[in-house]
Amino acid sequence: MSGTARPDPTKTAAPAIDGAVEILEVLSASPWPLQLSDICEKTGLAQATVHRILNSMLSHRMVALAPGRRKTYVPGSRLFQLASAVFARQPFVPHFYPIAEILKNEIQRSIFLSLPIGNQVVILARLDAPASTAFNAYVGRTMPMHLSASGKAILAARPLEDQLTYLRDEGLAAPDMAAGLPALAQDLQRSARLGYAVSLNEIQLDVGCVAAPVVNGRGEPVAAISACFTGEALSLQSARVYSKNVVQAARQLSSHIL
- Amino acid 218: pLDDT: 92
Provide the pLDDT confidence category of residue 176 given band limits of 50, 70 and 90: low
Pick from 50-54, 85-89, 91-95, 165-169: least confident: 85-89
Pick from 171-180, 189-198, 228-237, 243-252: least confident: 171-180
Q: What is the mean pLDDT of residues 90-102?
A: 90
pLDDT value at 45 more than 80 = yes
Q: What is the mean pLDDT of residues 68-91?
A: 82
213 forms bridges with which residues in the sheet?
A: 224
Question: pLDDT digit string (tens) for 5-28?
Answer: 444 555 667 888 999 999 999 998
- Residue 143 neighbours by CB distance under 10 Å: 19
pLDDT value at 242 more than 70 = yes
Instruction: Give strand ranges (E) for the chain.
Output: 34-35, 63-65, 72-75, 110-117, 120-127, 142-144, 197-200, 207-215, 221-230
- Amino acid 3: pLDDT: 43
Q: What is the residue type of 44?
A: G
pLDDT value at 83 more than 50 = yes
Q: What angle do CA 45, 51, 56 make, to 5 degrees?
A: 115
With contact defined as beta carbons under 8 Å apart, do 122 and 90 qualify? no
* Residue spans per domain, the chain: 15-82, 90-254
CA 98 to chain CA mean position, Å: 22
Question: pLDDT digit string (tens) for 106-126?
Answer: 998 999 999 998 889 999 899
With contact defined as beta carbons under 8 Å apart, do 192 and 157 qualify? yes
pLDDT value at 221 more than 60 = yes
Provide the CATH number for the domain formed by 90-254 in this structure: 3.30.450.40
Q: What angle do CA 20, 21, 25 make, to 5 degrees?
A: 120
Q: What is the mean pLDDT of residues 77-101?
A: 84
Provide the pLDDT confidence category of residue 157 given band limits of 50, 70 and 90: very high
Provide the CATH number for the domain formed by 15-82 in this structure: 1.10.10.10
CA distance 75 to 65: 9
Mean pLDDT in the chain?
86
Q: What is the mean pLDDT of residues 205-223?
A: 91
